[in-house]
């Protein structure tokens, strides 16, 4: 990527002197983050493997009774999705702070909120986006109907961006701490539980023949607001961590 002021070598980057005189553009940041994500395939595969392990072992643990599996299937898939999401946020910003990428972006006068948003969007694609597709495995594993499975996937798509933003805020707040990764779930999970409750409730409403669209619309609205606001909060927190 010779035309970009941000040169990619694994997770490390260098900023060309010309970048200091002008802001780094959207496509340059997107190409860099996309290449970094592809090169770190092992890291983003771990949460997906965790998700598959949980939803595969859960039916074996509770038994093969169809009624029980159908009753617990939605909650089990959502809990697995939440745990896989929280597991993957540790490496969102810590490597960028340690290897100097964050400092170089600040010096290059790049838009930190834009960089944060791009990084989170790409992370969502490789985590919750794939998890949403894998949630269709609930049909053979938990005896859910295809209609319930599609609603479950829709609930993950609408609710997971808000979960990711909350996890990213928790990750940025603990960035300067030595063992901050341990605190991320403790900070994020209490804020994420209402999303989990609303999402599973929406699927249950559809399963009983009621209208769960207002809840899905509420989750979507919360995700949109989070995407618009949280990158600015995270960028400010990251800059404070870098200055300290």
Distance CA 46, CA 134 (A): 14
The residue among 199 and 188 whose pLDDT is bigger is: 199
> Mean of the pLDDT values across residues 43-68?
87
User: Please, which pLDDT band fits residue 70 given cuts at 50, 70 and 90?
Assistant: confident
Question: DSSP E strands: which ranges in the chain?
Answer: 6-9, 12-15
- Which pLDDT does position 149 carry in this prediction? 93
Domains in the chain: how many in total? 1
Q: Which residue range is the domain that position 144 belongs to?
A: 6-243
User: Per the structure block, which two tokens stand in for 50?
Assistant: 């965790």
- Which pLDDT does position 1 carry in this prediction? 38
pLDDT tens-digit series, residues 114-158: 999 999 999 999 888 999 999 999 999 998 999 999 999 999 999
Output the pTM of the full model. 0.83
> Mean of the pLDDT values across residues 162-191?
83
Residue 103: burial class (beta carbons within 10 Å; 0-12, 13-18, 19+): middle
**Which residues lie closer than 8 Å to 196 by C-beta, 6 or more apart?**
78, 79, 82, 159
**Which residues lie closer than 8 Å to 102 by C-beta, 6 or more apart?**
93, 96, 238, 242
> Mean of the pLDDT values across residues 80-104?
83
Supply the mean pLDDT for the chain.
Answer: 83
> Mean of the pLDDT values across residues 53-79?
89
| 1 in a structural domain | no
| 87 in a structural domain | yes
Helical ranges in 19-111 per DSSP H: 26-39, 41-62, 66-87, 94-98, 101-107
| 149 in a structural domain | yes
Distance CA 80, CA 8 (A): 33
**Which residues lie closer than 8 Å to 205 by C-beta, 6 or more apart?**
211, 212, 215
| 166 in a structural domain | yes
| 62 in a structural domain | yes
């Amino acid at each position: 990527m010779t035309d970009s002021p941000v040169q990619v070598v694994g997770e490390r980057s260098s900023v060309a002197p010309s970048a200091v005189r002008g802001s780094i553009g959207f496509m340059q940041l997107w190409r860099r983050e996309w290449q970094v994500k592809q090169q770190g395939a092992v890291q983003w595969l771990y949460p997906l493997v965790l998700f598959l392990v949980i939803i595969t072992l859960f039916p074996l643990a509770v038994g093969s009774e169809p009624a029980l599996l159908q009753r617990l299937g939605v909650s089990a898939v959502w809990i697995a999705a939440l745990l896989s999401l929280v597991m993957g946020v540790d490496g969102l910003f810590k490597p960028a702070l340690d290897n100097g990428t964050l400092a170089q972006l600040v010096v290059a006068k790049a838009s930190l909120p834009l960089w944060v948003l791009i990084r989170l969007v790409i992370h969502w694609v490789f985590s919750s986006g794939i998890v949403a597709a894998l949630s269709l495995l609930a049909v053979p594993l938990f005896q859910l109907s295809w209609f319930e499975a599609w609603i479950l996937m829709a609930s993950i798509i609408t609710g997971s961006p808000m979960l990711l933003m909350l996890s990213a805020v928790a990750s940025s707040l603990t960035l300067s701490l030595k063992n901050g990764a341990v605190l991320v779930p403790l900070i994020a999970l209490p804020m994420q539980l209402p999303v989990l409750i609303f999402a599973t409730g929406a699927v249950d409403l559809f399963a009983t023949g009621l209208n769960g669209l207002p809840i899905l619309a509420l989750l979507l609205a919360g995700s949109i607001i989070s995407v618009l606001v949280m990158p600015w909060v995270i960028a400010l927190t990251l800059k404070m961590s870098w200055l300290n």
